[in-house]
């Protein structure tokens, strides 16, 4: 019974040391794959937010311009009718 408890304790310690060494190597290589993926996702999300904002601004400006042109055209037609 004592042998199995000692073996289990040693295996636990060895597994903990392996994890510590893995984390040390990951830090030396720029982080784990999961960390890198998370960074890429965050960067992509920020870029998508920026693109969405720019698209909304463009859409608003486009529709404002379109309505200004419609009003301008109506005023020109009215002016030409008055001139006739």
pLDDT in tens, 11-70: 888 898 888 888 777 776 666 777 778 888 999 999 999 999 999 999 999 999 999 999
Going from the C-alpha of 62 to that of each of 17, 28, 57, 66, 76, the distances in angstroms are 61, 50, 9, 6, 21
When divided into structural domains, the chain yields a total of 1
Angle at Cα 50 formed by Cα 44 and Cα 39, nearest 5°?
25
- For residue 1, the model assigns a pLDDT of 58
pLDDT at residue 78 above 90? yes
pLDDT at residue 77 above 90? yes
Going from the C-alpha of 1 to that of each of 4, 8, 11, 15, 37, the distances in angstroms are 5, 11, 16, 21, 45
- For residue 84, the model assigns a pLDDT of 73
Report yes or no on 61 lying in a domain.
Answer: yes
Report yes or no on 37 lying in a domain.
Answer: no
Domain extent for 63: 46-84
Report yes or no on 39 lying in a domain.
Answer: no
């Amino acid at each position: 019974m004592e042998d199995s408890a000692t073996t289990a304790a040693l295996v636990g310690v060895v597994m903990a040391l392996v994890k510590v060494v893995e984390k040390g190597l990951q830090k030396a290589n720029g982080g784990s794959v999961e960390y890198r993926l998370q960074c890429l996702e965050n960067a992509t999300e920020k870029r998508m937010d920026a693109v969405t904002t720019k698209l909304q601004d463009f859409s608003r400006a486009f529709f404002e311009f379109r309505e200004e042109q419609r009003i301008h055209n109506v005023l020109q037609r009215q002016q030409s009718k008055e001139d006739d």
